[in-house]
Chains A and B, each alone.
Chain A
Amino acid sequence: MIAIAKLSRRSLVQAILALPAFALIRKLPAPAPDPDEIIEVNGWIVRRSDLA
């Protein structure tokens, strides 16, 4: 908090923009995959839960 307070708003925005988008998204919890989703793996058309 203190460190941030010392940064100018402009530097803060620059720092955020400099972060790869990935780094921000990575922090978000991944949504649980729908086990009923139908997907294609190696040519097989299967239900995601088949992969277990």
Chain B
Amino acid sequence: MIFDSYEAFRAAAFTPKVCIMGSGPAGITIARKLGAAGIPVVIFEAGSNEWTEESQDFYRGTTVGDPYFDLDVTRLRYLGGCSNHWAGWCRVLDAHDFTPKAWAPDTGWPIRRTDIEPYLKEVHDILDLVEFRPDAPISDDISWVQFIKSPAVRFAEKFYGDLDKSQNIAVVLNTYVRELVGDGKRVTGAHIWSNGADAGQFLADYYIPCTGGLENSRLLLWSNERSNGGVVPSATALGRYWMEHPQFEGGNAILADYDEFEVDRTNEVFFSPTPAAMERKQIMNFGIRLIEMPYPGVKRLIADLACVAPDTAEWAAYQLSLNLRCAAQLYVGWEQAPDFSNHVALSKTATDHTGVPRIELNWKKRDMERRTILEGLKLFGETMVAKNLGRVRLADWLVNGEDYPTDQELAGHHHMGGTRMSEDPAKGIVDGDCKVHGMDNLYVGGSSVFATSGQCNPTTTIVCLAARLGDHLSHKIV
């Protein structure tokens, strides 16, 4: 059932047990699992079924620290959420992303990859994925890894029919949950804003914010403030340890044989460090993306190489004259070490037009990350030399220790952390089941629960975790 307004939904007298906030990949996946188990569930979606300026305005906010995207541009507030503009790159966090790293404080999840693997099969169906190819180490330090460039499922489009027909799932558009109310043990209601006015409280047995990797923190921070700590009783880490995947062009490579690696349909290849290399260098995870270089750039690169290694440059020039692909740009995206001071806060001065404070995002890249990108590229370069696969040139800004470039993409639009998963309530908000510590009926869906970010795009893991949470609740609620 899909309703255009909260009023229409109320008139239908449907009484859900579970209240999900947000209809992105996380919310829709959890709802479908519960619906399939015969559990009545409602998804309140703040936006309508299309982009509107008015709805996006709720997402405005500010960033303090490093440059970041405008917060109303890096996400979408309508049916399907950010799946309406995601690129569809898919990979699950690596097994070693879940384990603690002695050299990086606050790493490690309370669950392991094996806990989400049983859900991979259904996630393949949800995201229309082909089978993943296993990673292939090319040296002791570097593995050739795969991102599936999927058809980028638009959740609203793919599941609209099913959701509309479902007798167990109600999707209610234009319905903004502006606050949860709690007594320190349970959430006792959700304040609804509909049709430009306060529409009172909605009651259910269970509540699951799935409002995205920034908004989950905002909703819970605001709710907790209003309920005097009654929604997130252990709130030390609330909004904290927020993470992105910064990404920059870190250099170039001249390759002995571009076709050595099976390039994907957009001629790209990806590499990541082995766990042993990360440990030896005491760095975080990273991904190096090789993109074929345009011809004029290749010529400049070969001329530069000629100053250092004339014979190698001559060979590369010969390859080029044969019209062979021989050079690539290297983009590096990496894992940020969890950092308490990177956080989502409520603005002290700006509110949305219902009076909820806007987000003030405090975000900075740290030294460990600079080391990760530099050491990572060096490891890659050394592997290329040792295996005679090619030669790597580090970008000038890295070699000269300059600031990050300001004319590049900055990051991945991946909003992670803020309600992170940890057994320790001082270090996280949810437990291994995505349940808020100390609360009986409050769970969280989405990448805000990520304890660490790994190097890969988050949505495949988000959907795995959502399927797992749906499964967990459908066994719990009978």
Query: Which residues does A use to contact B, with CB under 8 Å?
Result: 38, 40-47, 50-52
Contacts and interface: CB of A to CB of B under 8 A. Distances in A.
Nearest to B382: A38
B66 interface: no
Contacts of A40: 378, 381, 394
A44 B382 contact: no
Given A50-B308, A51-B309, A43 B395 contact: yes
Contact of A44 (B311, B386, B393): B393
Interface string B159-203: 000000000000000000000000000000000000000000000
A45 B378 contact: yes
B76 interface: no
A40 B399 CA distance: 10
A45 B385 contact: yes
A41 B308 CA distance: 7
A46 B399 contact: no
Contacts of B304: 42, 44
A50 B394 contact: no
A37 to B, nearest CB: 10
Given A38-B382, A38-B385, A46 B391 contact: yes
B312 A45 contact: no
B392 interface: yes
**Which 9 pairs across A and B sit closest by C-beta, in order of nearness?**
A45-B381, A50-B309, A43-B394, A43-B399, A45-B392, A44-B308, A50-B312, A41-B308, A44-B393
Contacts of B102: none
Contacts of B381: 38, 40, 45
B309 A45 contact: no
Contact of B394 (A38, A45, A47): A45
A46 B378 contact: no
Contacts, number: 51
26 contacts: A40-B378, A40-B381, A40-B394, A42-B307, A42-B399, A43-B251, A43-B393, A43-B396, A43-B399, A44-B305, A44-B308, A44-B309, A44-B391, A44-B393, A45-B378, A45-B381, A45-B382, A45-B385, A45-B391, A45-B394, A46-B308, A50-B308, A50-B311, A50-B391, A51-B308, A52-B311
B386 A46 contact: no
A45 B384 contact: yes
Most buried by B among A42, A45, A46, A47: A45
Interface in B287-316: 304-305, 307-309, 311-312
B300 to A, nearest CB: 13
B49 to A, nearest CB: 50
Interface in B347-401: 378, 381-382, 384-386, 391-396, 398-399
Contacts of B391: 44-46, 50
Nearest to B309: A50
A47 B385 contact: yes
Contacts of B305: 44
Given A40-B378, A43-B251, A43-B396, 10 more contacts: A38-B381, A38-B385, A41-B309, A42-B308, A44-B392, A45-B382, A45-B393, A50-B311, A51-B308, A52-B311
Interface string B127-154: 0000000000000000000000000000
Contact of B385 (A43, A46, A51): A46
Contacts of B307: 42
A19 B23 CA distance: 79
Nearest to B391: A46
Interface in B76-113: none
A51 B21 CA distance: 61
B255 to A, nearest CB: 13
Contacts of B399: 42-43
A49 B309 CA distance: 9
A41 B312 CA distance: 14
**Quick one: which of B378, B382, B393 has the most chain A CB within 10 A?**
B393
A46 B394 contact: no
Contacts of A52: 311
Contacts of A44: 304-305, 308-309, 391-394
Which of B308, B311, B392 gathers the greatest number of chain A CB atoms within 10 Å? Answer: B308
A42 to B, nearest CB: 6
Nearest to A42: B308
Nearest to B394: A43
A36 to B, nearest CB: 9
A47 B251 CA distance: 18
Contacts of B309: 41, 44, 46, 50-51
Contacts of A50: 308-309, 311-312, 391
A47 B391 CA distance: 9
A43 B308 CA distance: 10
Contacts of A47: 385
